[in-house]
């Protein structure tokens, strides 16, 4: 249940990445490829500057299943990952990839994307743009406090703010679906600050 394992470690890095990605977006949406292709060509510089893509600097443009050793592929399958699947391949390629993060968290009664998750959603948005065949369901969840009915709407608002950011980074409307569970499906079944923080989340689920 580690939620922070893939999060960058310093705020400075985050800002840097945000700026770099923003630049890339202006340059024509294709700058931050993020996926299996690694970061060939010009934009790699920006991404490199972000220091997020540490595992992807080998510049392999064929970093899909073929790029993995037999042993790696076997291990991947054991983990439930499919090396043939572009998304899984990208994550296998780089366990630190923002694509490996499928859950983002929110502040209390808030649906704004926190700074630390901006690179995650940028990466997913770019991945979806690169892979129009991929479809993603975004689940919005809240903690248990307050009105259940309000929380159902708040969960939807969280899912939508994720959707909005993914679209801003190239995902197409047809690839995305949102569903709110409000407070009905807590990740951690407890009533304390830690559990509430875990439960205020949006979950990204790629369709098989």
Partner 1 sequence: MARANRFRSTLAALAALPGLAGPAAADQDVVIDIIGGVEGATPIAIVPFQPQDGAAPGTDIADIISADLARTGRFEVLPEEDLVETPSRMADVDFATWRALGVDYLALGEVSPAGEARYEVRYELLNAYQEGRTDGHRYRAAAQDLRTVAHTLSDRIYEQITGRSGAFTQKIAYIAVDKGEGEQGRQYRLVVADADGHRSQTILTSEEPLLSPAWSPDRERLAYVSFEGGSSEVFVQDVHTGERERVAAFRGINSAPAWSPDGERLAVTLSRDGAANIHLIDVASGDVHPVTRHWAIDTAAAWGPDGDWLYFTSDRGGPPQIYRTHPDGQQTERVTYEGSYNARPSIGPSGERMAMVHRQDGAYYIAVQDLETETVRVISDGPADESPSFAPNGDMVLYTVGGEAGERLATASVIGNAIAPLRATEQEGTRLREPDW
Contact residues for partner 1, defined by CB under 8 A: 109, 144-150, 152-154, 156-157, 178-181, 184-185, 190-192
Cβ closest to partner 1, residue 15 vs residue 145: 145
**Min CB(184)–partner 1 separation in Å:** 4
**Min CB(85)–partner 1 separation in Å:** 23
Within 13 Å, how many C-alpha atoms sit on residue 107's CB side? 6
**Min CB(157)–partner 1 separation in Å:** 7
**Min CB(126)–partner 1 separation in Å:** 26
Cβ closest to partner 1, residue 70 vs residue 149: 149
Structure tokens at 109: 């009664």
Q: What is the 3-state secondary structure (H, E, C) of 152-199?
A: HHHHHHHHHHHHHHHHHCCCCHHHEEEEEEECCCCCCCCCCHHHHHHH
**Min CB(189)–partner 1 separation in Å:** 9
Cβ closest to partner 1, residue 30 vs residue 187: 187
Burial 122-150 (b: 16+ CB within 10 A, else e): bbbbbbbbbbeebbbebbbbbbbeeeeee
Cβ closest to partner 1, residue 31 vs residue 178: 178
Cβ closest to partner 1, residue 68 vs residue 152: 152
Pair 135, 178: CB distance under 8 Å = no
Cβ closest to partner 1, residue 13 vs residue 157: 157
Structure tokens at 105: 């968290």
**Min CB(25)–partner 1 separation in Å:** 25
DSSP structure class, residue 112: P
User: DSSP strand E in the chain: where?
Assistant: 103-105, 136-141, 176-182, 201-206
């Amino acid at each position: 249940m580690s939620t922070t394992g893939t999060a960058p470690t310093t705020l400075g890095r985050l800002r840097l990445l945000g700026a770099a990605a923003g630049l890339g977006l202006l340059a024509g949406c294709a700058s931050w490829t993020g996926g299996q292709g690694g970061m060939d060509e010009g934009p790699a510089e920006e991404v490199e500057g972000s220091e997020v893509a540490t595992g992807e600097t080998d510049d392999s443009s064929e970093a899909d299943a073929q790029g993995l050793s037999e042993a790696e592929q076997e291990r991947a399958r054991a983990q439930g990952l499919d090396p043939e699947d572009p998304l899984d391949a990208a994550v296998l390629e780089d366990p630190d990839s923002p694509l490996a993060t499928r859950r983002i968290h929110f502040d209390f009664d808030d649906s704004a994307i926190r700074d630390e998750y901006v690179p995650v959603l940028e990466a997913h948005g770019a991945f979806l743009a690169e892979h129009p065949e991929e479809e993603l369901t975004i689940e919005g969840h809240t903690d248990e406090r307050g009105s259940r009915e309000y929380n159902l709407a708040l969960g939807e608002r969280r899912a939508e703010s994720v959707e909005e950011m993914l679209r801003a980074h190239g995902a197409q409307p047809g690839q995305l679906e949102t569903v709110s569970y409000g407070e009905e499906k807590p990740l951690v079944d407890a009533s304390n600050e830690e559990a509430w923080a875990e439960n205020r989340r949006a979950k990204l689920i790629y369709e098989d």
